[in-house]
Amino acid sequence: MNNGCVEDQHAVFERPDASMRLHLKPLFIQAKINGVGVNKVLVDGGATVNLLPQSFLGKIGLLDSNLRPHNVISTNYEGTTGNSFGAVEVDLIVGSVSRTTMFMVVPCKANFNVLLGREWIHGVGAVPSTLHQRIAIWKEDGLLENIEADQSYFLAEANNITKKNFEK
């Protein structure tokens, strides 16, 4: 029986080949924030919240005065706790999926422009795969959209590990 709704598609990731197993690349994608194209957007399922370095605020047309205070205390991988400068909500577009997203603005120098954590990943129902260098996202119409990683950030062979790297 068809009620006129589009049936949800299933995400399928192909079996990893040798080149997939050798890389240690983080998952970088491209996005738009408040209409501005942004590269080096790190998708990190190990992070709870979304992070935005303070130095990047101006590049998306925001100032420190746009930040709102909050009471979230963050803990980094070393167990060190700290506060952010504040929080900011922006319009974020990844692929064709748009969502108002809150970021904690942090005082850091990072190898990313924006970090999307579980708040965004779960909020849009995304399935990221660092192995496949892709994100699967179901759009409002139930169709699946695959967002491929932005490989332009990486030099060829720079992130491959082989047994010979560890031999003495």
Domain 22-154 has CATH 1.10.150.120: no
Give the per-residue pLDDT at 10.
81
Distance CA 135, CA 129 (A): 6
| β-bridge mates for residue 36, sequence order | 33
* Domain map (residue ranges) of the chain: 22-154
Q: Higher-confidence residue: 40 or 164?
A: 40
Give the per-residue pLDDT at 75.
63
The pTM (predicted TM-score) of the whole model is 0.82
Q: Higher-confidence residue: 90 or 161?
A: 90
Among all chains, which residue has been given the structure tokens 């179901």? 138
Average pLDDT of 99-105? 96
